[in-house]
Structure 1
Amino acid sequence: MKNIRLKITFIVLLTTTLGISQETKQGVVISGEPLAEALVKQWILDYSKNTSSNIAFKAKAKDSDLAVEFLNSETSKSNEDLKHFSIAKVAILPVAKSNAPIVLELKKKGLDENKLKALYFDDFLESTGKDDFSKIPHQVYTRLGETGVPAIFAQAFGYETSSIKGNGIGGNDLHVINAMKADETAVSFNALNLLYDVQTRQAVTGFTVLPVDLNGNGKVSDDELFYQDLDAILGKLQSLNPKDIKNIPIGELQIVVNIKESNQETLNFLNWILVNGQASLSKYGFLQADTKTLKEERLYVNQLVANLK
C-alpha cells in the first residue's frame, strides 16, 4: 500500500481592517471543513486564555486568514510561497452500519488488502474478476470529489477516486455518515475522529468500524481487533512505526503558511499550535505528529517571527 499524506491545510494570508481613525486592527479568521473544526475551536479557546488576540472560526468565510481545506499533494505544492507544517495525523478506517450483513461476515475475519480492494474499488474487480462480496447485500458510500478522505483512501491502495464504487455524496465527510443512516446495508470509510464520539470514546451509534489486516500478513489476528474505543485505536496506532501500519491510510494534518504575507499575530498563533496544540489531539481523535518534525518547524517559525522585527 502506498504511503499517502492527507493535508488539511490552513492557508495563511495577511488581512487588515481599517477603522475610521485609520488605525489598523489585526485579527485571524479561520474557515474550513468540519473534520478539524472542533480541534481548531479548542485551540482558539486555549490560546485566547492568555492573549488578547482576535481569533475566530467562521466555517464559510470567503476571505479568511486560515482556510482549513483538503488538498492533494499536487495542489498544495502549486504555490512556492506556501510553507507546510505537519502538526497531527489522521487515520482513515472502513466502516459499516452495525446491522449490515457485511458486518457479520467481517467483524471477526476482517479485511486484508485484497478484500479491501474488492469491497471498495471497481478497477480491482475489472482486473481480477474476483468479487468476494457479490453474495452479501451492501452499498458503498463515498464523498464526491478528488481531494481529502476519498482521495487519500483511493491513492493508498493505488487507485483514483473515480474507481471507488457506490453512491457519491455531495458536501463534506459528515454528510456521508448521515447518508448511511437510512441504509442498513451501507459501507464506507472515513476519518477516525468522525467515526467515534469524542465525548463517550465509543463508535458513533449505529456504526461499526471494520477490522483490517494491520501488519499485512494476509489475516486479521486477535491482537489486531483493537476497535473497542477511540483511545484503544489511538494507542495502538501511536505505538507503531508508521512503516508497520498496513491497510489503514494515515494522513497528515498540516498548516500551510504564506510566508511572504503572514503577520506577527498569525505566526504567534501558529507557533502556539506547534508548541501546545499536541495536547488536544487525542481528545479529538487525532494522532500525534512526529516529534523531530515539530521541533524543526518551531525553529522555522521562530525565524519567521524574528524576520518581522
Structure 2
Amino acid sequence: MMKNSNLLTLVALMLLTTTSVWAQQVSEGVYTIRAPRFAKGLVEKWITEYNKVDSRMHIVVAAPGTKADINFSVFKDDNDDHTIWFGQYAILPVTARQGEAAQYFSHHKLSKKKLRELFFVSDDIEESLEEKHKHGLVAYSCSHAHCLSNAFASYFGQSVANLNGKKISGDDIFLTTAINRDKEGISFNALYNLYDLGSRKLKSDVSIIPLDVKKQHAQILNDETTVDGLIALLESESVDGIPVQSIGLSVSTTDDEILNGFLTWVVTVGKDYNHEFGLLNIDDKQLAAETGKLTKKLLTAQK
C-alpha cells in the first residue's frame, strides 16, 4: 500500500513538472500586440494567417493599461531602429458632402499653399483670417497624442500647436461627425476612415476637397473613385497636397528570433493585406531596407 502511495506521489510530481515546463514554453511563446482602432481588423488577419506559418508564436491583443511587446507606430522617425515599417497611410482634405463648404469647393480648387493657409495659423495673420472667415470655413482636427494631426502638420512643415480651428479629443474617425454637424466645417482624415472598406467607395457623408493638381491626378481625386483607385495612384507617385506617412511596428527587443520571424513575415507577406484595410504598401527601396534590417537582426539573434 505504501509502495502504491509512493508511486502515485511520483507520478503526480512528474505530471506537475511536465505541466509546469509546458506552461512555461507556452508563456514564452506569447506575444502581446497593441493596435489602434483602425488596425484591429488587420491584426486579426495577421494572427489568423501567421498561426499557419509558425505555431510557436501565440499573438494576443494586449489588455488596456498593460505593456505590449508590439506596438503600432504611425509617425516615422528614421533614427528609430526598433520599428519595422510595413506600410503607409494617406491623408485627404475633406468636408461634409451636403455642407455649405462643399458648395464653395465645387467652384474652387486648393493648392498645397492654400491648404496650409486654411488649416494652420499663418505668418500673415490678416491674410490667413481673411481667407478663412471670408467663406466661414471652420477647420477641425484631433488633439490626442497619436492622431493624424502629427503627420498632417509635419507634411506642411508645421507643428500641431499651429493647427487652426476647433479640436476634438476622440479618435480621428469622429472628425467626420464634427464636420457633418458644422456645415462649414473642413477637416482631414486617412483613407481607412473615409472609405467603406467593404464596398471600397467613399462614405456617403463626406466629400474630398478638390485640389489644384495635375489633370491626370484630378481625374482620380474625386468622390466617385474607389479607395483602390486612390491607392494605386498614391503608390505610383506623390500628389501635391496629400500627405503619405509610414506605419510600422515598434518592438521592445531586437534579438528575439521568433519575434523577428513574425516581423519579417509582416513586411514580406502580411503586406498583401494592406490594401484590404485602406493602407498603401511601401516602395521597393523601403521594402529592401526593412527586410535587410530584419535579416541582420535574425543573424544576430542566432549567434
TMscore range, shorter length: 0.7 to 0.9
Residue 268 of structure 1: aligned partner: 261
Counterpart mapping for 1:10-25 below 5 A: 20-21=20-21, 23-24=24-25, 25=27
How many residues align? The count is: 279
Please state how far the C-alpha of 1:44 moved relative to its aligned partner: 1.8
Please state how far the C-alpha of 1:221 moved relative to its aligned partner: 7.4
Residue 55 of structure 1: aligned partner: 59
**Secondary structure, in 3 states, of the residue corresponding to 1:123?**
coil
**Cα separation, partners in 2 of 1:269 and 1:116, compared to 1, 3 Å:** same
Matched, 1:135 2:129: no
**Cα separation, partners in 2 of 1:307 and 1:145, compared to 1, 3 Å:** same
Moved more, 123-132 or 170-179: 123-132
Matched, 1:293 2:266: no
Please list the CA deviations of residues 238-263 of structure 1 after superposition, one character each: whole Å capped at 9, or x if unmatched.
222x4xx2111110112233444x42
**Secondary structure, in 3 states, of the residue corresponding to 2:130?**
coil
Matched, 1:223 2:185: no
Tell me the percent identity: 23
Please state how far the C-alpha of 1:286 moved relative to its aligned partner: 1.1
Moved more, 95-104 or 110-119: 110-119
Matched, 1:38 2:41: yes
> Which structure has the greater CA radius of gyration?
2
Please report the TM-score for the alignment, with normalisation by the length of structure 2: 0.81
**Secondary structure, in 3 states, of the residue corresponding to 2:182?**
coil
Residue 187 of structure 1: aligned partner: 186
Residue 4 of structure 1: aligned partner: none
The answer to whether the Cα contact below 8 Å between 2:33 and 2:61 also exists between their aligned partners in 1 is: yes
In structure 2, C-alpha distance between the alignment counterparts of 1:113 and 1:143, rounded to whole Å: 20
Residue 200 of structure 1: aligned partner: 199
In structure 1, C-alpha distance between the alignment counterparts of 2:61 and 2:145, rounded to whole Å: 25
Please state how far the C-alpha of 1:118 moved relative to its aligned partner: 2.6
**Cα separation, partners in 2 of 1:141 and 1:129, compared to 1, 3 Å:** closer
The answer to whether the Cα contact below 8 Å between 1:140 and 1:166 also exists between their aligned partners in 2 is: yes
In structure 2, C-alpha distance between the alignment counterparts of 1:296 and 1:110, rounded to whole Å: 37
Ranked by relative contact order (alpha carbons within 8 Å, sequence separation 6 or more), the top structure is 1
Residue 272 of structure 2: aligned partner: 279
The answer to whether the Cα contact below 8 Å between 1:212 and 1:220 also exists between their aligned partners in 2 is: no
Gaps of 5+ in 1: 1-18
Gaps of 5+ in 2: 1-18
Residue 257 of structure 1: aligned partner: 251
Residue 87 of structure 2: aligned partner: 88
Residue 72 of structure 2: aligned partner: 68
Larger helix proportion of the pair: 2
Please list the CA deviations of residues 267-292 of structure 1 after superposition, one character each: whole Å capped at 9, or x if unmatched.
12101101102211111111110113
The answer to whether the Cα contact below 8 Å between 1:234 and 1:282 also exists between their aligned partners in 2 is: yes
Residue 101 of structure 1: aligned partner: 100
Q: What is the root-mean-square deviation in Å for CA atoms of aligned residues?
A: 2.7
**Cα separation, partners in 2 of 1:149 and 1:129, compared to 1, 3 Å:** closer
The answer to whether the Cα contact below 8 Å between 1:226 and 1:236 also exists between their aligned partners in 2 is: no
Please report the TM-score for the alignment, with normalisation by the length of structure 1: 0.79
Task: Name the aligned partner's letter for residue 161 of structure 1.
Answer: V
**Cα separation, partners in 2 of 1:287 and 1:127, compared to 1, 3 Å:** farther
**Cα separation, partners in 2 of 1:153 and 1:45, compared to 1, 3 Å:** same
In structure 2, C-alpha distance between the alignment counterparts of 1:256 and 1:145, rounded to whole Å: 19
The answer to whether the Cα contact below 8 Å between 1:226 and 1:232 also exists between their aligned partners in 2 is: no
